Structure 1
Amino acid sequence: MASETSGGGASGGGQTGGESVRVDSWIWSVRLVKTRSSGGAACKGGHVRVNGERVKPSYGVHVGDEVRLRQAGGRERVVIVKRLIRKRVGAPVAVECYVDNSPPPPPREAVAPAGVRDRGTGRPTKRDRREMERLRGAEG
């Protein structure tokens, strides 16, 4: 099999019974990604690392492995595998399957949204649009 010769070794595929589970399936099962296919895409894109190395979707995770997942918006989730599951479960059960060592998300700035227009004022003019872009650029 190709995954056995390409660095996956004996841990690829999850063929050893309950000892390992595919990484794309596991991150989907514990609700770190919305769909299994997006878990596979994250692995293929290099956004998933197990114990510091980039992995393919078929890589087998074991209890005690550190899984790092870079999510949209630049946030990184760092979890330690506590329990292996293959099926997607509810959120209260899912959080019992890992230890979350992720850094806290950056604080959200409490500012009034720029460019909110009053109802009924019509379409913004070019001058209004440039003013709104200038305000948004100054904040971000």
Structure 2
Amino acid sequence: MSRKPDDTASADIRLDKWLWAARFFKTRSLAGTAIDGGHVHLNGERAKPARHLKPGDRLRIRTQTEEYEVLVLALSEKRGPATEARLLYVESAESEAARQSRREAQALAPVFDHPDVRGRPTKKWRRQLHYFERKLAGSE
């Protein structure tokens, strides 16, 4: 039994397929792995990849970099442009505010990477490290 593309709004869609179509994950297998790992909750409970979604369901999705709380508005089996994917759900105001504050905190966090670090330190950088260590040891 094949489905017409037009009746996807009334049909049940698998959770992993919807997450992929809504562009939360790059592939369906990544979506399935995240669901199995407990990073996706459907209506407050852990879900399985084959669980069917319907409009009105609430999802909490944790990706590698962000955490979203969304309300499912529409269903789609096809992955389209990002502008169309944003029409499938609406994110809660608290979720957007939390993501924005996390982004700001991450931007303000100090970065301790040395720009010239590629493997073993150079002689100049090693001297600077020794100078810094001696300075710290002398202040204690």
TM-score, normalisation: structure 2? 0.68
Equivalence for 1:5: none
Equivalence for 1:13: none
Equivalence for 1:128: 129
TM-score, normalisation: structure 1? 0.68
The answer (yes or no) to whether the contact 2:39–2:62 under 8 Å persists in 1 is: yes
CA offsets 1:18-38 (integer angstroms, 9 cap, x no match): 332000000110101111100
- Give the share of equivalent positions with the same residue, in percent: 33
Residue correspondence of structure 1 range 1-140 to structure 2 within 5 A: 18-73=10-65, 75-101=66-92, 102-104=95-97, 105=99, 106=102, 107=104, 108-110=106-108, 113-117=111-115, 122=122, 124-125=125-126, 128=129
Of residues 53-62 and 64-73 in structure 1, the stretch that sits farther from structure 2 once superposed is 64-73
Segments ≥4 residues shifted beyond 6 Å: none
- The whole-number CA distance in structure 2 between the counterparts of 1:116 and 1:63 is 49
- The whole-number CA distance in structure 2 between the counterparts of 1:111 and 1:45 is 28
- Report the structure number with the largest CA radius of gyration: 2
Equivalence for 2:5: none
Number of residue equivalences: 114
Say which SS state the counterpart of residue 92 (structure 1) adopts: helix
Higher helix share: 2
The answer (yes or no) to whether the contact 1:76–1:103 under 8 Å persists in 2 is: no
- The whole-number CA distance in structure 1 between the counterparts of 2:116 and 2:17 is 47
Say which SS state the counterpart of residue 57 (structure 1) adopts: coil
Q: 2:126 is matched by which residue type in structure 1? A: T
- The whole-number CA distance in structure 2 between the counterparts of 1:24 and 1:126 is 53
- The whole-number CA distance in structure 1 between the counterparts of 2:31 and 2:110 is 35
- The whole-number CA distance in structure 1 between the counterparts of 2:129 and 2:115 is 10
- The whole-number CA distance in structure 1 between the counterparts of 2:37 and 2:110 is 36
Of residues 58-67 and 100-109 in structure 1, the stretch that sits farther from structure 2 once superposed is 100-109
Alignment CA distance shift 1:28-1:126 (3 Å): farther
Provide structure 1 residue ranges, at least 5 long, that are not aligned to the other structure: 1-15, 133-140
Alignment CA distance shift 1:70-1:90 (3 Å): same
